[in-house]
Structure 1
Amino acid sequence: MTEVEVVQLLVSPTHRLAGRPADGPSPVSVEELVLRAEVRGGLGLVGDRYFGQRVHRDAAVTFMSAEHLPLDIDTNVDLRQTRRNVLLRGVDIDSLVGSTVTLDCRFGPVTFSLNRPARPCAWMDVTIGPGAHRALRGKGGVRATPLTDGVLAVGEATFSVVTPAAQPGPR
């Protein structure tokens, strides 16, 4: 078990990065940063644009490590620019692809399958600044499926690896 901090949570009802990056993001219709988010197993974050979307079931929630934010490009960068859902401090989430983990924000553990890397795209150079796309390669976060219901909240939390990623066999 590792003590971590949930720095930010983003629940966005709309997909703001549609079209070409040169056109810029769509305007924000509601406050997307929340202090608490409800999680539904197999569905995602209640109220988020990917909640219950079949095509996004294995990527309904996206985690990112605060230590990987490109603060040298923009000191104010946060989840609104990266479009990830959960910003954690104290764990290298990118190194855990393939693992099953729990995150307990004082409301009971919520279990997630960390399925695949969240690859940065050209939008990062628009929303964060030139060079962000390249700076986030290999550390843009992880796309996950929630396996249980629960609540996530900003603040202190505990993080555990339940099942580590399978190690590749010898060649």
Structure 2
Amino acid sequence: MPQILELLVSPVHRFEGRPADGPSPAAPGELVDRVHVRAGRGLVGDRYFGRAAHRDAAVTLIAAESLVQFGPGIGLEQTRRNILVSGIDVDSLVGLVLTLDSGRGPVSFAVRRRANPCAWMDTVIEPGAFKALRGRGGIRCSPLNDGELTLGPVEVTTREPQP
């Protein structure tokens, strides 16, 4: 069964400047047990919440299957995505509507585009991670309705967007 493994809501950017300088410190409490989603705005408390430049890409998801090649312990703190899932081929969903229900009601996302990896991946994961994650770096989405997601099993549906 598909699962939500990690949820990250961060009020700060950690990857600024040059990768050789290393990331900024993580804000306390970035990894959470639940997230509040707001339609067209993102995750409450996240650095991209309600920002005009990110309205079509306010929430990011990545599949754990993309990260297993790097060994245990690699997740959202390194990739800076918002939702880590298993059992969902998120990279194949661009252009669709993805609906997740972790028991608190369905939350739908318009999957807008890929979340391409950046050179920071070679610094925070391992050398070669940037190249290894091309085409497997996750997706950028816009929430279509308000709701809440929690860790654990999740029901997944996909559909074509409404015209």
Matches within 5 A, 1:23-34: 23-34=21-32
Structure 2 unaligned segments of length 5 or more: list them.
none
Aligned equivalent of 1:67: 65
Q: TM-score, normalised by structure 2?
A: 0.96
Aligned equivalent of 1:114: 111
Matched, 1:142 2:149: no
Preserved CA contact (<8 Å) 1:43 1:146: yes
CA displacement, residues 143-167 of structure 1 (integer Å, 9 cap, x when unaligned): 0000100001000110100227xxx
Q: TM-score, normalised by structure 1?
A: 0.91
Instruction: State the aligned residue count.
Output: 161
Matched, 1:55 2:53: yes
User: How big is the shift at 1:120?
Assistant: 0.3
User: How big is the shift at 1:72?
Assistant: 3.3
Preserved CA contact (<8 Å) 2:10 2:27: no
Aligned equivalent of 1:168: none
Between the aligned residues of both structures, percent identity stands at: 55
C-alpha RMSD of matched pairs (Å): 1.0
User: Larger Cα Rg: Structure 1 or Structure 2?
Assistant: 1
User: How big is the shift at 1:74?
Assistant: 4.1
Aligned equivalent of 1:125: 122
Preserved CA contact (<8 Å) 1:74 1:128: no
Structure 1 unaligned segments of length 5 or more: list them.
165-171
User: How big is the shift at 1:31?
Assistant: 1.8
The letter for the 1-side match of 2:27 is S
Preserved CA contact (<8 Å) 1:58 1:145: yes
Q: Distance in 2 between matches of 1:77 and 1:101?
A: 24
